[in-house]
Amino acid sequence: MLVLFGTQPGKKNVNPTVVLSPTPLQKIKIHSSTKGIFIPYWASELSENDYSYNAFYYFGIAPTKEGMIEKDGGYQNMTLVRGVDEKKKKLVLRMLDASITEVLLESTVFQKKLNEEVLQIMDDTPFSGIVIDMEVPFTLQSDKQKQITNFVQQMCTAFHANYKSCDMLIYGDFAYRKRPYDLKKLGEITDKILLMAYDFHKAGGEPGPNFPFDSGSTISSSLRVSSLSNKGGPEAVDYGYDFKTMISDATALVPQEKIEVVFGMYGYNWTMNEQGTPLQTAQALSLNEIKTLNSKMLHVTSYMLHVNDAQEKNIQYTDNEGRNHIIWYEDEESAAVKIKYLQEQGIGQASFWAYGYY
């Protein structure tokens, strides 16, 4: 799930010369009946103040092709959540390697072995349930959707028989990019569907919001003054999909009470060429790293933020080598806007990726 953050931001090449006048968001206090946090295996130990969440998702353990569990950092670092009440914590099964997932989907023998392995781990280190994070890319294979549904069915049957909950993480763009998930059936099988409302714009693609809240007027990908309207505002950009549409698509298939939305508290820093297209894969930055970067920039009077219909923050700056940069990211304010909308739609469950990022 997601990206690993290793390098610290903005140690050099931060000399911003920007760009647009700010349209700041009004702060909205987050209220939610359930507020969860994902704890990645590379995180630091939890402190006393970190136990205020309603749900904790340990991320996580990963399978082998034979249905065993990799003895990697995810397996070894489960002690990170040892102090969390069993009823509040769930174990994430990281099925991120498409080649391994392909084998497991085709073998009921390996699926049964995987169930046994995971249930044993959950007995040794008690968790209240499992979260299946099966991130299958777009595929033209007509049977893939059925294979995934059957896999989840057998796993949830096994876990329910052992009095454990069984949830599933799903791409937020499941409908837009035609992911191979039968969300209606998966919603019937599982106890909860967690929608990943992030990574709509990829590090290897064009700049854009983590997951746009709404369509409409937003910032263009170019830093040139000619990209702005006569009124000094950004050009209209249609991203083709947004948060509101995702919720509409999901609630048409899954009851509101079974939906939880996960927000990614991070962003990407794209380096642009003179034509306004990316020079390279964007750098992933946690929200904490972006705040550190912001604190350096705020001493420069020309530094500005822009907030738009996407409801996410956008930073544009030029580094010391003359290269233009664009950063889009989710933060507490933008997530609060989206959570308020969820509540209006009857969805009271939200979580955040990830502990240590904000």
Average pLDDT over residues 234-254: 87
Q: Does a structural domain hold residue 261?
A: yes
Q: Does a structural domain hold residue 141?
A: yes
Our count of domains for the chain comes to 1
The predicted pLDDT at position 16 comes to: 38
Q: Does a structural domain hold residue 20?
A: no
The predicted pLDDT at position 293 comes to: 84
Token reading at 313: 């923050």
Reported as a single tens digit per residue, the pLDDT across 232-243 is 334 556 788 999
Average pLDDT over residues 264-284: 95
Confidence class for position 324, pLDDT limits 50, 70, 90: confident
3-state secondary structure of 65: coil
The predicted pLDDT at position 36 comes to: 97
- Edge-to-edge strand list for the sheet holding 305-307: 283-286, 266-272, 324-329, 313-318, 305-307
Lowest-confidence segment of 90-99, 119-128, 312-321, 323-332 by average pLDDT: 312-321
The predicted pLDDT at position 246 comes to: 98
Q: Does a structural domain hold residue 304?
A: no
Q: What is the maximum span of the chain, computed from C-alpha positions, in angstroms?
A: 64
CATH number at residue 54: 3.20.20.80
The predicted pLDDT at position 120 comes to: 96
Lowest-confidence segment of 124-138, 230-244, 326-340 by average pLDDT: 230-244
Whether 245 has a pLDDT exceeding 80, the answer reads yes
Reported as a single tens digit per residue, the pLDDT across 20-43 is 333 333 333 444 568 999 999 999
**Which is nearest to 255 in space by CA: 128, 166, 348, 164?**
348
- Alpha carbon distances (Å) from 165 to 105, 156, 160, 322: 21, 8, 6, 53
Element (H, E) at 120: helix 108-124
Q: Does a structural domain hold residue 132?
A: yes
The alpha carbon dihedral of 138, 143, 147, 149 has a sign of positive
Q: Tell me what the pLDDT averaged over the chain comes to.
A: 84
Q: Does a structural domain hold residue 275?
A: no
Q: Does a structural domain hold residue 218?
A: yes
Whether 228 has a pLDDT exceeding 60, the answer reads no
Q: Does a structural domain hold residue 134?
A: yes
List the beta bridge partners of residue 40.
59
The pTM is what? 0.86
- What domain range includes position 51? 34-265+334-353
Backbone dihedral region for residue 239 (phi beyond 0: left; psi -120 to 50: alpha; all else: beta): alpha
Confidence class for position 321, pLDDT limits 50, 70, 90: confident
Average pLDDT over residues 87-112: 96
